[in-house]
A and B are shown apart, each in its own frame.
Chain A
Amino acid sequence: EDKVVQSPLSLVVHEGDTVTLNCSYEVTNFRSLLWYKQEKKAPTFLFMLTSSGIEKKSGRLSSILDKKELFSILNITATQTGDSAVYLCAATDSWGKLQFGAGTQVVVTP
């Protein structure tokens, strides 16, 4: 059975801290790994990773995929209160279907 597991489920950090979110996956016919940020509405796209070992960066966020070990991490440096959200990891199969993890709730305190 396909599954995507995220850890931790939640964490609280102070502004300026760095957080690392983990995502492991077991998906038949895996094609890509995606990270989304969800605040009050629907998820917003952060990264899509298809190749192992190539880091993707966007501002203070970065992510990398390890296809041998079947996991990905999302890093957020110099966190701000606006980074508070649920971060969702999802894996796609060859049909493009997304299998989501349970999410990691990040709370950044001032």
Chain B
Amino acid sequence: GAVVSQHPSWVICKSGTSVKIECRSLDFQATTMFWYRQFPKQSLMLMATSNEGSKATYEQGVEKDKFLINHASLTLSTLTVTSAHPEDSSFYICSASRTALNQPQHFGDGTRLSIL
């Protein structure tokens, strides 16, 4: 089956730091990847759609200058949380699906971000 790798799995850092999270599709190409955020006891909320070779599409209420997304290749998308603050602490998850239409999204293991 499809495998999506996300790194790092856990980050603890000081307020004001920028944090980069990587999402890789290991055995397939993905022109589109998605970034989600999940707070405790809540469901996943889509933050943005990452498109290979073009700008990401952000959901309403998500600051694009705060959450920088780069999708430089068909197997890698990165999310950078810039100048992170404690309220940015959350579980961030990426997903990807094969380029062909109507394929299920598979998720990375997620990154738990804790800002002190």
Contacts and interface: CB of A to CB of B under 8 A. Distances in A.
Decide if A and B are genuine partners. Answer: yes
* A-side interface mostly: strand
How many of chain B's residues touch chain A, expressed as a range?
Answer: 20 to 34
How many of chain A's residues touch chain B, expressed as a range?
Answer: 20 to 34
B46 A98 contact: yes
Interface string B89-111: 00001010100001011111110
Given A42-B93, A42-B110, A34 B43 contact: no
Nearest to A101: B43
Interface of A: 31-32, 34, 36, 41-45, 48, 50, 88, 92, 95-103
B110 A96 contact: no
Interface of B: 1, 6, 32, 34, 42-46, 49, 93, 95, 97, 102, 104-110
23 contacts: A31-B102, A32-B102, A32-B104, A42-B93, A42-B109, A42-B110, A44-B107, A45-B1, A45-B104, A45-B107, A48-B102, A48-B104, A88-B43, A96-B97, A97-B46, A97-B49, A98-B34, A98-B105, A99-B46, A100-B44, A101-B43, A102-B43, A103-B43
